[in-house]
Amino acid sequence: MFKTSHKALGLYAPWQAIGIFIFIALSLTTIEVVQSLRVNLDLDTARRHHHVDSMVVLGLASVLIGLNRPHIYRMSRWEVSWQDVLSGVASGLIVRLLQELIFRLKGESFPSAERNVLAIVSVVLIIPILEELLCRGVLLGSLLANFRPLFGILLTTCIVAAFHAEFVWAFPGQLMLCILYVANKKSLPSTMICHVAMNALTYV
């Protein structure tokens, strides 16, 4: 099951990568809980704070990780091909349809997205890009350097989906993003395009 040593590649050990992700996720959860305790905070203001807090935490984590492990993002492929674009958009559409089907089977309607500028910019563009840097570039990338692809894909999918509000809803998207990353030779642009497409389609 084990592959090339993480030290030789300048990556994190599996337990380090998982620990970092859990710490980031718990930090976001803690901030959200603290915000919810502010009784004088109306719903719209709380949502704006959530978007800003998410961008700040994810952005800061991405920068600090890049400084701590300068080679970690270079382990992914950054060149963009038409295959990356097409597979990213197609995968995003498939996931969106699967999520819609899941909610229909549960007898629920798909959650409506916030339609203000901050929400759209953060949810559709900034947060998906930062999440891909951390979830696929750091977490999955580190696991792939130590384990076989199938194990790395499943472990990353379960860990990331577990920190979403709806595990069943998040699982198909996270699984698709991980498969896409591996299938497209560790292409971060393809997963970023897919993630952006997934989130953008919630506004359609």
pLDDT of residue 102: 87
Q: Please tell me the distance from the alpha carbon of residue 167 to that of residue 74, in angstroms, as a whole number.
A: 30
pLDDT of residue 1: 45
- Which candidate, 161, 184, 203, places its Cα nearest to that of 87? 184
Q: Please tell me the distance from the alpha carbon of residue 96 to that of residue 77, in angstroms, as a whole number.
A: 25
Q: Which residue has 């993480």 as its token pair?
A: 6
pLDDT tier for residue 115 given thresholds of 50, 70 and 90: confident
Q: Mean pLDDT in the chain? A: 87
> Is the model's pTM score more than 0.85?
yes
Q: What is the pLDDT of residues 143-198, one digit of tens each?
A: 998 899 999 999 999 999 998 878 888 999 999 999 999 999 999 999 999 999 99
Are the C-beta atoms of residues 148 and 3 closer than 8 Å to each other?
Answer: yes
Q: Is 203 helix (H, G, I), strand (E, B) or coil?
A: helix
Mean of pLDDT values over 63-70: 92
Lowest mean pLDDT segment, chosen from 8-17, 24-33, 149-158: 8-17
DSSP 14-37: HHHHHHHHHHHHHHHHHHHHHHHT
pLDDT of residue 33: 77
Q: Which residue has 């337990």 as its token pair?
A: 15
In the chain, pLDDT over 90 holds for what percent of residues? Answer: 60
pLDDT at 83 exceeding the cut of 70: yes
Mean of pLDDT values over 84-101: 94
